[in-house]
Amino acid sequence: MTSSRFLVATLNPGKARELSGLLGGLPYELVTPPELGITSAPPEEGRTLEENATAKALYYHRLSGLLTLAEDSGLEVEALGGEPGVRSARFAGDWASDGDNIRLLLHRLAGVPPEKRRARFRCVMAVVACGSTLGLFTGQCPGIITTELRGQAGFGYDPVFLVPEIGQTFSQISAEVKNRLSHRGGAAKEAACFLCDIMNHSGAPTTLKPPVGTP
């Protein structure tokens, strides 16, 4: 493989937009699965974000043959013992909508005071090439779960995730500010530095062997 195309492996339009914005400065041609005619998704059976991100990256890499990045993110709420965590996208059921998940979250937190509604978003990104994982990159963002939806932008739990640093939810801020503060932005920054480094050193990332100790 000598192609400099880079697969951003998600079928979620909101995630695809964010990741394209976060990784758009890389010296690669970014493509998504639908652009390659890939519309299937692997089952998310991992017990951790790391397992799911790696499984998704390997799945789409095998279908495309491209250098691939996949991510898995989760909302961890302190008062719920870390739930929904790895099941954030399926909190209210396997086919739940964002609205379904938010309604269940607010129901589970009904009556919980603000000081006990602490939470964090966590993201893990996996980069895969030549059938192996080249690296795992993480990011996190602390916040508080609101009692009602605030804002119109974003996706997922964004309307109820308030960032104390700015006093607004992810749905109330611009994409630029969200990318700077978010868990996904933090993980993408690490991944982007790694990808630029391997491109600068080899010019053909897919020829590299995984670093020693990388799962």
Q: Could you list the active site residues?
A: 72
| Nearest CA among 65, 3, 43 for reference residue 205 | 3
- 85 DSSP assignment: E
Tell me how many degrees the CA angle 59-128-67 measures, rounded to the nearest 5: 95
Q: On the CB side of 195, how many CA atoms lie within 13 Å of its CA?
A: 31
DSSP character at residue 209: P
Distance CA 98, CA 85 (A): 15
**Phi/psi of residue 209, nearest 5 degrees:** -90, 150
